[in-house]
Amino acid sequence: MAERITGLLAEFHKDSSKRLWLFSVYVLSERMSRFSGENVQYADGYDVEWCKRYQSYVFHNSSSGIMPKDIDGIYFISGDVKVKEKPCQLVDARDKPPWKGKRTRIIRERNRTRRLRKLPKAFEMGHATNLMEWLQDNGIENGATYCSECRDWLPEDADELCDHVWWCAKTGSYSTPNERCTCTNRDECDERMG
């Protein structure tokens, strides 16, 4: 039996312009276990970021085996997925505990927990039968790294990154304007790869 998607959970964030942005997708599927030969349920989670440069979502599989039980924001469900709603927990980056600032209250009101009955207009399904197929057809499947200089999420592919972000072999991660590695310069990062 081929994999069959039985449920999908998508989480959204509404920004100050009132646009809904997708930021995660969980896929519940049924497929045959290679160990027992029986049909079993699998859950895969995908992180999703908007890339302004390519006007496209960048997504990658970031977890397996867990479907969220609680949801605390704007969401869409299709198929066999059950969640318990909780109040929105988003905070403004400039706020401090106990997270009661005016900007935090505005963000939480705008993103109050609620289920969307249908996907936003930006997700015109075309021939896709679900949101995961739509992402595979219209998005970029890759990890994403944020560049604070470009103010953009970029695909983690050496040809796709900007001049402000590069791979550091010493740290085993990307060196970004907000999280620079300890190397003295970019050439030193490159030398460690050789």
Q: Domain residue spans in the chain?
A: 4-141, 163-193
d(CA 78, CA 64): 19
The H or E element containing residue 77 is strand 74-79
Q: Which pairs with CB-CB distance under 8 Å and at least 24 residues apart come from 59-67?
A: 59/25, 59/135, 59/139, 59/140, 59/141, 59/142, 60/141, 60/142, 60/143, 60/144, 67/7, 67/9, 67/26, 67/28, 67/43
Output the pTM of the full model: 0.88
Q: Which amino acid is at 167?
A: W
pLDDT in tens, the chain (194 residues): 467 889 999 999 999 999 999 999 999 998 887 888 888 888 999 999 999 999 999 999 999 887 889 999 999 999 989 999 999 999 999 999 999 999 999 999 999 999 999 999 999 888 888 999 999 999 999 999 999 999 999 999 767 789 999 888 888 889 999 999 998 888 888 764 44
